[in-house]
Every structure is written in C-alpha cells, then in structure tokens.
Amino acid sequence: MKLNIRSSKGFSFNNLGLIAKILFIFIAIILLVPLIIYYYPIAKYIIMVIIAFFIFEIVARALGNNILTYVVTGVLLYFIIYKYFYLSTSVFLLYLLLSVGFTSVVIWGTTNLWKEK
C-alpha cells in the first residue's frame, strides 16, 4: 500500500497563483512589523523617529518651512505616533513597500498571468 503524500486536501502554498503568493507574503510582512515592535522595544523608538521625519518632510513640502508646518506636524505626530502607533506602522510599511517598487512585482505577475492564457 502506497501513501499519497501530495494530497489535495488542506492548504498548500504551492497550489496558489503567483499574485496570491505575493499578496500573502506582503500581508505577512506588514503584520510582522507590529510583532517586532512588541518584542523589541528599541524598534518602537527607531520606527517612531523614522515616521516623524517622514511626516515632517511631507508636511514641509506641502506647506513650506514656517510655523504652520510645525503645528500640523505636531498634530499629525500626536495622532499617528501616540494614539494609533501599531496601525500607523502597518500603513507606513504598506506605503513604503508600494512606493519603493513592490508594485512592479505585482504588475510583472499580472502580465505573466495574462500571457499564460
């Protein structure tokens, strides 16, 4: 009697399509950041500083370098860093991955998907 190791029952990562694999890994990376922050407290402060500089740069580009820039930055930092920190780190990582070029992988995967049909 021979056992069938490759059964179609259950979840198998190999049966997923390319886009589904990319999205699965993408979500895993985004959810990994709050876990890292929870277990390594120094990472929380490092990410706080990175997000603070990032927010200041966006506000300074939009409003210029004046007192209104510092007021708006302060209000945004209060809500983003102190009130909703774990949510904002996930959203920040999502924005960072999308802006760096992760979308090119998704686009490449969709073009290959269309070529197969």
pLDDT tens by residue, 74-86: 999 999 888 988 8
Q: Is residue 42 part of a domain?
A: yes
Q: Is residue 102 part of a domain?
A: yes
The span from the CA of 39 to the CA of 15, in Å, is: 33
Domain region containing 58? 17-116
Spatial neighbors of 63 by CB under 8 A, at least 6 apart, are: 69, 72
DSSP secondary structure letters along 49-104 = HHHHHHHHHHHHHHH-SSHHHHHHHHHHHIIIIIISHHHHHHHHHHHHHIIIIIHH
Q: Is residue 11 part of a domain?
A: no
Domain count for the chain: 1
Residue recorded with tokens 């990319």: 22
Q: Is residue 86 part of a domain?
A: yes
Q: Is residue 12 part of a domain?
A: no
pTM here is: 0.64
Spatial neighbors of 58 by CB under 8 A, at least 6 apart, are: none
Both tokens of 47, joined, read 């990410």
Q: pLDDT (tens digit, 9 = 90+) per residue, 11-60?
A: 566 666 767 777 787 788 888 888 888 899 898 899 899 989 999 999 99
Q: Is residue 2 part of a domain?
A: no
Q: What are phi and psi of 17, to 5 degrees?
A: -75, 175
